[in-house]
Amino acid sequence: MKDKILEEDLLYIANAGGDYEKLYGKSILITGATGLVGSQIVKALLKMNEVKNADITIYAFVRNAEKADKIYDEFAKDKLVYVIGDVGNPVTDETVTLSNGKKISEVQINYIIHAASPTASKFFVDYPVETIMTAVNGTKNMLDLGKEKQSEGVVYISSMEAFGAPDPEKPYVKEDDLGYIDIHNPRSCYPEGKRLCECMCSSYASEYKLPVRIARLSQTFGAGISYEENRVFAQFAKAAMNKTDIVLHTAGKSVGNYCYTRDAVMGILLLLVKGNDGEAYTVAHPEAHITIGDMAKMVAEKLANNEIKVVFDIPESAMTFGYAPDVNMRLNSDKLQALGWKPVIGLEEMYTRMMKSMEYTR
């Protein structure tokens, strides 16, 4: 059954026009194409082809073609090509296979979006070495590919965790307001890895004149989230849907910053064609910031109509679940908005749209 909420979002992106039309007739490679952000980008581009005859060739970098087929089974695939391989390896004719039978050396790649990354906190704690090496090797390989193909634009998907713990007295945190990260905490493999990859992007822009920009994403969710998703926002949504209490394993004091999936995709696509090379842009709704505890309370009261409550079950060690240290920051996205981006969907609507969308995969 087609997800009508996601369909609305994809049509919204496809009909946006303006700067996004610069992508028409181009070829775009997206890594992490079976992940949340990567798959949403691919679907948006496929929808552009469908309703705007955009003639975009989409190279979806995946490890498993069968898994990708399930994700894109409702879309026309005449302009969708799977690049099957591991981003941890240099991209060559020997390391990747294209589903259209061509060789990677034979095709032009006008744009690259590097969205492949581990996302589970427990994975960061259990496999910190793998987390770091996946980030570093994967990013280097994509930057090298962009350099080789003389791509017109590259976007690296970073994370708000790259901010670390900035000055809590600042009312809003901008791109250069980086704070402390404990480099001897194995959980820091993820934010420190993101910082190193951002530095690598800036270095390629400086030394090789590669037109790469960094999209520093806040927590991103919305339509298209599977019911099987287990990140905190999805756990809260499922608790409201199933009328079960929300269980917090921290005191809930960390301030989260959020962005709706549709808004995030539009920001990323805009950065392919606009922005300063080697620079970072925060992708966050400036009004969608709230403590984890208050967000749980909002879901329980407003979305579950006070039929559930918030329960605290705090383990002795935060490492049990791999959660990041508490952070108090409010992200400022003026830099990206100055390019013409405008986030539309607020936090409560993010949840209502996500919950309606999750019903399709329940």
- Residue-by-residue DSSP string for 208-258: H---EEEEEE-EEE-TT--TT--SHHHHHHHHHHHT--EEESS-S-SEEEE
Q: Structure pTM?
A: 0.94
Q: What pLDDT digit, counting tens, does each position of 314-348 carry? A: 876 655 555 666 678 899 999 999 999 999 999 99
CB contact at 8 A, 329 and 163: yes
Question: pLDDT band for position 243 (50/70/90)?
Answer: very high
According to DSSP, residue 301 is labeled I
Percentage of the chain beyond pLDDT 70 is 97
Q: What pLDDT digit, counting tens, does each position of 157-193 carry? A: 999 999 999 888 888 899 999 999 999 999 999 999 9
Strands 255-260 and 246-248: unpaired
pLDDT score recorded for residue 146: 98
- Residue 266: CA count within 13 A, CB half-sphere: 27
What value does the mean pLDDT take over residues 97-113?
A: 97
Q: Residues 6 or more apart from 320 whose CB is under 8 A from it?
A: 249
Domains of the chain in start order, with CATH, are 4-224+257-287+328-349 (3.40.50.720)
pLDDT score recorded for residue 56: 98
Short-list 319, 323, 119, 303, CA closest to 219: 119
CB contact at 8 A, 193 and 132: yes
d(CA 177, CA 167): 8
d(CA 61, CA 97): 10
